């Protein structure tokens, strides 16, 4: 959040302001003994959580101001639907790979995380997309959980913010005993710690009405969406106190959620790079098999080995996501100068993405156009 100079308040004022906003401080315990820097941290989280899922303005005078802001933001991050022809021009002759975030991208944001279902239309389109392009779901969710929503075995799944990656499986129950497709779990040694913190957080937050702790296997989510805003600071503080005891874990923010994860250097951007590299190896494997069948493929084998999927100009990754955690992946694509990042948002946000889509319905339309374009260009 940007601070305007006239709005900057000193630590004592902040302390009073924050204390006043926490009627449940006594219930949650210990909060008023915080140092000013701890309060600043908590305030920053709260600001960030608030900004992550802004409520829409209703007043008509400010709505024209808002529209102006949206219009100028859209100049730099135009609609991927309006720009489809230009995107199609840049994709021509390249191998497209699609990376899709789940919540807020494929499914609408809802109050109950257990009910974030995709529409039937979205599932059908996703199935079509996977028929034409290698496709990965990259999500903060536990991999099994997101699979139970998506239910398509032909996709790659990168759960726990990319810390749990598995490739496509033929079976309809891909998580049952088929470990051959397991690609990457860089945080596996943190599993017992995450379990421990999950139990502690469940206990510590049970007195906050509406608070929910979700176990995403290699990371945890503490949900604020159904908590009265007046209790947000107290809840955030409770999380911070628990985390103080676990220096190997860190906090990040999502849409009305605080996420607890291992301090390893791994995020959705790393998962994207890993998948691009793995897909490159996969294409080598396919060509290797062809080589056995026909010696003429030797030449092709050498070329593919050199270029791979990860650093090839021949590959066009499309990453679509709505959250702060997706920015790591947008940044990777921007730095590589490869493919495009598309942010799902109807309000202006700081982003490394090049294009925007307003909501999951527009994501579905974009994906459908991609399939239609592929079909028409291969006829």
Chain positions contacting ligand L263DTV3, by CB under 6 A:
101-104, 109-111, 113, 116, 139-141, 214, 216, 221, 223, 225, 254-257, 259, 323, 325
Least CB distance to ligand L263DTV3 at residue 107 (A): 6
Least CB distance to ligand L263DTV3 at residue 141 (A): 5
Residues with Cβ within 8 Å of residue 54, at least 6 apart in sequence: 347
Q: Could you give the count of Cα atoms lying within 13 Å of 325 in the half-sphere of its Cβ?
A: 35
Residues with Cβ within 8 Å of residue 372, at least 6 apart in sequence: none
Output the CA torsion sign for 307, 313, 316, 322: positive
Q: What is the largest CA-CA distance in the chain?
A: 77
Least CB distance to ligand L263DTV3 at residue 323 (A): 5
Q: Which residue's CB is nearer to ligand L263DTV3, number 143 or number 256?
A: 256
d(C-alpha 368, C-alpha 131), whole Å: 12
**How many CB atoms neighbour CB 285 within 10 A?**
11
Q: Which residue's CB is nearer to ligand L263DTV3, number 39 or number 158?
A: 158
Q: Which residue's CB is nearer to ligand L263DTV3, number 18 or number 344?
A: 344
Least CB distance to ligand L263DTV3 at residue 152 (A): 15
CA distances in angstroms from 199 to 195, 232, 242, listed in the order given: 6, 20, 11
d(C-alpha 118, C-alpha 174), whole Å: 19
Q: Which residue's CB is nearer to ligand L263DTV3, number 103 or number 237?
A: 103
Strands 164-166 vs 156-159: parallel, antiparallel or unpaired: antiparallel
d(C-alpha 316, C-alpha 155), whole Å: 17
- Main-chain phi, psi angles of 221, to 5 degrees: -120, 130
- Using the 8-state DSSP alphabet, how is residue 94 labeled? S
Residue in the shown chain whose Cβ atom is closest to ligand L263DTV3: 140
- Main-chain phi, psi angles of 107, to 5 degrees: -125, 150
Q: Which residue's CB is nearer to ligand L263DTV3, number 310 or number 328?
A: 328
Tokens at 301, concatenated: 């084998």
Q: Which residue's CB is nearer to ligand L263DTV3, number 168 or number 210?
A: 210
Q: Are 134 and 148 in contact (CB under 8 A)?
A: no
Least CB distance to ligand L263DTV3 at residue 144 (A): 13
Strands 220-223 vs 212-215: parallel, antiparallel or unpaired: antiparallel
CA distances in angstroms from 294 to 297, 301, 302, 303, 308, listed in the order given: 6, 11, 14, 16, 21
Least CB distance to ligand L263DTV3 at residue 87 (A): 23
Q: Which residue's CB is nearer to ligand L263DTV3, number 103 or number 362?
A: 103
* Residue reference for tokens 């999950």: 198
- Return the H-helix or E-strand segment holding 60: helix 60-76
Q: Which residue's CB is nearer to ligand L263DTV3, number 324 or number 374?
A: 324
Least CB distance to ligand L263DTV3 at residue 79 (A): 21
Least CB distance to ligand L263DTV3 at residue 139 (A): 3
Q: Which residue's CB is nearer to ligand L263DTV3, number 283 or number 325?
A: 325
Least CB distance to ligand L263DTV3 at residue 39 (A): 24
């Amino acid at each position: 959040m940007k601070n305007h100079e006239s709005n900057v308040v000193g630590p004592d004022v902040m302390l009073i302001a924050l204390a006043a906003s926490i009627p449940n401080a006594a219930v949650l315990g210990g909060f008023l003994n915080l140092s000013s820097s701890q309060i600043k941290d908590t305030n920053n989280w709260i600001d960030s959580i608030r900004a992550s899922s802004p409520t829409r303005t209703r007043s008509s005078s400010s709505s024209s101001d808002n529209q102006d802001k949206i219009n100028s933001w859209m100049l730099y991050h135009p609609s991927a639907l309006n720009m489809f022809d230009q995107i199609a021009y840049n994709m021509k002759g390249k191998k497209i790979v699609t990376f899709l975030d789940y919540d807020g991208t494929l499914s609408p944001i809802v109050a109950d995380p257990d009910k974030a279902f995709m529409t039937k239309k979205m599932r059908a389109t996703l199935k079509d997309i996977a028929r034409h392009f290698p496709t990965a779901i990259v999500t903060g969710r536990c991999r099994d959980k997101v699979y139970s929503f998506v239910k398509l075995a032909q996709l790659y799944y990168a759960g726990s913010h990319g810390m749990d990656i598995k490739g496509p499986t033929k079976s309809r129950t891909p998580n049952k005993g088929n470990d051959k497709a397991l690609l990457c779990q860089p945080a596996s040694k943190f599993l017992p710690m995450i379990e421990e913190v999950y139990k502690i957080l469940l206990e510590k937050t049970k007195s906050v009405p509406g608070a929910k702790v979700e176990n995403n296997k290699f990371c945890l989510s503490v949900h604020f969406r159904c908590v009265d805003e007046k209790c947000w600071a107290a809840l955030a503080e409770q999380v911070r106190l628990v985390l103080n005891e676990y220096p190997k874990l860190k906090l990040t923010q999502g849409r009305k959620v605080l996420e607890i994860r291992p301090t390893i250097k791994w995020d959705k951007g790393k998962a994207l790079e890993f998948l691009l590299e793995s897909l490159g190896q996969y294409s080598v494997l396919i060509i290797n098999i062809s080589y056995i069948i026909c010696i003429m493929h030797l030449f092709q084998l050498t070329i593919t080995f050199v270029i791979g999927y990860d650093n090839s100009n021949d590959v066009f990754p499309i990453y679509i996501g709505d959250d702060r955690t997706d920015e790591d992946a947008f940044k990777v694509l921007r730095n590589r100068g490869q493919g495009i990042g598309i942010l799902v948002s109807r309000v202006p946000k700081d982003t490394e993405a090049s294009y925007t889509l307003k909501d999951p319905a527009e994501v579905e339309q974009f994906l459908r156009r991609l399939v239609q374009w592929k079909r028409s260009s291969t006829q």
